Every structure is written in structure tokens, then in C-alpha cells.
Amino acid sequence: MPPNIVVFFSDDHAQWALPPYGNSEISAPALNHLAETGVVMRNAFTPCPVCSPARASFWTGLYPSQHGVHDHLAEDDQEVQKTAWLKGIPTLADYLHEGGYATAMCGKWHCGAGEEPKPGFDFWRSAWRKTPKYFSLSNKYSEQGMVVERSGYDSQIITDAAIDFLRSRDRDLPFFLFVGYATTHNPWINRPERLVSHYRKASFRDIPVDIPYPFGDAGTHPVAPNDRQEARAQYYASVAMIDEGMGRVLDELDAQGEGEGTLIVYTSDHGMNLGHHGIWGKGNGSEPLNMLEESIRVPLILNCPESIDAGQVRAEFVTHCGLFMTLLDFADSKPADTSHYPGSSFARRLTGAMDDGWRNIYIGEYGTTRAIRDECFKLVLRYAGGENLLHDLEADPRETINLYEDSDQRGRVKSMTAALEGFFAEYEVPQNSGLRGEALPIHNRREAWRRRSA
């Protein structure tokens, strides 16, 4: 039987904010255990550094210019709801369900109409609310399409739902469980005092003191908090809350005798700056949009004692699109035609086989901004206006020097531009291209490309 699969998928959890990636002050024993007994992917990236497009890429294995979601979706806006986001596009859940898996969605969906159960899922408990107070202790959830109010912390309610599924599932079927925590998302307030009080004593030494971002103004998603140290303490406490919830799920798996044969994955939709580069937020933490390392890098830890050797730290460049293919590989549920999928499975590499020809190239997009990165250089092209960028990441890891106009770099700019444009020429769906800018459907009425052209 193929392995069970559990994916923990957080929101705004930056790669730098985890001990396996070098953070020296956050306590996360469950995640540390998964890393020490599994695999840490050191160079994992998001296809798009904002919530909804990144999640849509995980679910579909496609880039935003293929699936058509380019910014975070305001799901309480009737105009936004008019667009049938991802309709007709097969998802990971569809393929796994067809392959004989019992499937469950618990937590944040954020790919359109989150209150409605989606095809491919047997069990649907989405965290869905129509309130700007994102972390009120009374929130709305969709349980098989019935919207209910639940009181308590999101992470605890979502964990309860995950355990409900594990206890009620058909034990004769392999299962896929998605646990979508949103705890690390702003506003960073009102986390449990027992956790926050500990992190108020932190030095936050892992957050570098940077000059203000030279290539854009501060964004408004979110606005920098007045008390930045308090916000950081709340964020660190949020990571601890996620870790506690994961621990409960892992304990339940062990209690059911499923721990050894279950593939556990931990990742996030995108990264986060908490004052890094002088900005707060992710790709929309600056205007024009940024593709900073802290915005595009995500944690990715995989653990499956029966099939993956423990203690690996791997350097391959991977994205959510590659993770999509990897999970289908483990489940033996890949579609017959994979030619339109840009991601490559890295399952064989995790289990000891070294495929030839792996290239460490990252490509990302956010609306009218696109980027390509190799092991040394990153090129960022802002097609709708703004300064194009070329950074030497070895000599200038804080991305403060722009080499785009340097005569010595013309050949590099030309070849990287050709590779970037060639990728999108091969894969993008013209009517879904991010370069359409203002012609794209409304996502939230505050899209960066719409604001910038106003």
C-alpha cells in the first residue's frame, strides 16, 4: 500500500524562522524531531510570495500564469467571488482520491470560496471567515459546507479537526491529510501569554539589522507595527503554537500505529520579512513588489521512516510545483500526461537514487514581476514599471546592490532573461498570464499592479 501523507502547510512562516534553518531562539521540538529524523530541503522556494497564488500552485502543480490566481483573494468580496478560481483544474486531492486515498482538508484553503467543499475531498473543515479580525477567538469554519462558529485559537481548532479525521477515517484506505495553519499570519497579537512572555525576552538576533530596501517603498500588507519587538514575540509564539498542534497530530499517528508508514511534510506558502531589509511582509511588503530571499524561501521538511533516510540536508532547488509531483510520485498517482507541469519530482533523490541532470534554477512570479535565480545570481524583471534588478547573492546576500545596468553583466542579463522568458513561453496560459496586469480578474481591489498604475 502507498504511504499515508500528511501535509502541514503554514501561512507566512519564513524559512529563517525555524531551528533546522538556523534560528537560535525559537523552540519547536516537533519540527526539530521531523528534521532530525527526516530531510531538510535547504533551498525550497515558493512560486509566488503571497498566499493564494502559492497555495493554488501547491494544489495544482502549476504556476500562477497557468492556474490564473495572482494575488491574495478577498473571499468576502462579491466581485472576487464571481470568478470560478481553479475551476476545471485537477488538484492534488483529485489525483490522490482517484488513486484510492481518503482525503481531508483541515484549515486554510484560500483559493476561492473556502466555505464550499471542493472536489476530491472526503472530509472538509476549512477555516473560513468574513471578518477583518483575522485572529478573533470566535471565527467561522465550514464543516462539509455548513458554516459554523467555533471559539478558541485557530491552531487548536484546526488540530482538533485533523484528529477528528484520523479517528473517523476508513482504516482500509491510505489517507491524505492537509493541515493548513494560519497562525503565523498577521495581525501578530493575542497569542497565548504563556508563550509570548517567553519570547519577549528574546534578542531576535537572527533578524539582521538592514538598511531600508533600496528598490521600493514600504508596502501596506501589513503596515509595520508600532511595537516591533512585541510583534516579533507574537510571531515567534505563533511558530510555537503550530509546533504544539503538529505534536498532537504526530502523537495521534503514533497511537494509531501509523507513524512509521506516513510521509509527513512541513512547509509554508511563502516567506516573511519582520524588519528584514527594513520592510514587513512578503512579496507585497514593498512597492513595487519584491522577490527577496526572505519572501521567496520556505521551509520544507519531509519525514517517512519506512522510505526516507534520516538526517539528510539537501541542497536541490525545489518549489511547491515540484512538491506536487513528489507527493504524487510517492502515492503512485501521477497523471498520464505531465508535459504541462513545470515541477520535477525529487522523490527518488530522497530515497537514495541520484537522477542525472538536476538543475538548480528557481523561477518565480508575482503579477507583473518575474524572477529567475541560480546558485549565485538573481534577476528580477518588473514588466509594468520599476527598476529591474540583478543581484550577486554571494557578494551581496542582503540584495542592496543592483548590477542590472553594469556593462560587465550584459551577457548574464541577456541569458537569464532568455531563460526566464523561455520558461513562460513554454508553460503560461495566455489568458492567465500575470503580465496582463490590470486586465486580470479582481483578486482584492488592492492588487499592487492596479495600485501602481492608478
Average pLDDT over residues 259-288: 97
Average pLDDT over residues 375-399: 97
- At 275, give phi and psi (nearest 5°): 100, -10
- At 316, give phi and psi (nearest 5°): -60, 140
- At 378, give phi and psi (nearest 5°): -130, 130
Residue 117's nearest CA partner among 144, 139, 141 is 144
Selected residue with higher pLDDT from 412 and 141: 412
Average pLDDT over residues 175-194: 95
440 pLDDT tier (thresholds 50, 70, 90): very high
Distance, in Å, from the CA atom of 254 to the CA atom of 330, rounded to the nearest integer, reads: 20
Answer yes or no: is pLDDT of 346 > 70: yes
Answer yes or no: is pLDDT of 451 > 80: no
Answer yes or no: is pLDDT of 132 > 80: no
Q: Which amino acid is at 129?
A: R
The pLDDT value recorded for residue 141 is 85
Write out pLDDT tens, residues 196-245: 999 999 999 999 999 999 999 988 778 889 999 999 999 999 999 999 99
Please report where in the chains the cell 525555524 appears, as a residue: 18
Contact 287, 217 (CB under 8 A): yes
The pLDDT value recorded for residue 123 is 97
Selected residue with higher pLDDT from 438 and 452: 438
What average pLDDT does the structure give for the chain?
Answer: 94
Rounded to 5 degrees, what angle do the CA atoms 304, 51, 301 make?
15
Helices first, then strands: H and E counts in the chain: 13, 18
3-class DSSP state of 7: strand
| Domains present along the chain, CATH in parentheses | 4-362 (3.40.720.10)
The pLDDT value recorded for residue 131 is 46
Say which DSSP state 86 is in: T
The pLDDT value recorded for residue 301 is 98
Per cent of the chain over pLDDT 70 is 96
137 pLDDT tier (thresholds 50, 70, 90): low
147 pLDDT tier (thresholds 50, 70, 90): confident
Average pLDDT over residues 39-46: 98
